[in-house]
Copies of this chain bind each other. A is one copy, B any other.
Amino acid sequence: MQKEDFSLSEEYEKCCVAAGPECGAVATFTGLVRQFEVSTSVSGLHLEHYPGMTEKSMENIVAKARNRWSLQHVRVVHRIGVLEAGSQIVLVIVASSHRPDAFAACEYIMDFLKTEAVFWKKEIRSDGEIWIKSTSHDYERRDGWAGEPSATVKRW
């Protein structure tokens, strides 16, 4: 959790060192503040958190991912405070021996960050400030991870 910006490049270098010689796959995700939401112009985002509880909620998500897949390194960096349009908000980096684990864990962590990490976001729009709500689509994505992994790969 930090107010400062992060560097994908630095975190990637650290990840490769930490993951070691059995690492074959690194998946990353970076979330950015979009300048437009539907037809409204957004000049920035205010991210509020609950010091202590937010960290615990994020550690819990990472622990669940590490428990589910074989991962060599996981790093989540999340910014808080006021972020201008175009700014980086969140970074997830996952290293694994194999591609499927790296992709799945990275997407899993993002889907749970979107629904279970303790953050509140307010959009700073041309027509005022508005606290945003989770979408039902976010919950559907999270719930898609429920149950045991099946033998068949299913896409959407």
> Closest Cβ of chain B: how far from A153's Cβ, in Å?
4
Q: Are A21 and B36 in contact (CB under 8 A)?
A: yes
Question: Any chain B CB within 8 A of the CB of A81?
Answer: no
Q: Are B23 and A34 in contact (CB under 8 A)?
A: yes
A154 proximity list for chain B (CB < 8 A): 144, 154-156
What string of 1s and 0s marks CB contacts (under 8 Å) between A134-146 and chain B? 0000001101110
What string of 1s and 0s marks CB contacts (under 8 Å) between A116-156 and chain B? 00000000000000000000000011011100011111111
Q: Are A22 and B35 in contact (CB under 8 A)?
A: yes
Q: Are A21 and B9 in contact (CB under 8 A)?
A: no
Q: Are B25 and A31 in contact (CB under 8 A)?
A: yes
Beyond A26-B32, A27-B27, A144-B152, 13 additional contacts (C-beta under 8 Å) are A7-B9, A9-B12, A22-B34, A22-B35, A22-B36, A24-B31, A28-B30, A29-B99, A34-B97, A100-B141, A140-B153, A144-B153, A154-B156
Q: Are A153 and B153 in contact (CB under 8 A)?
A: no
CA distance A152 to B106 in the complex (A): 20
Question: Any chain B CB within 8 A of the CB of A85?
Answer: yes
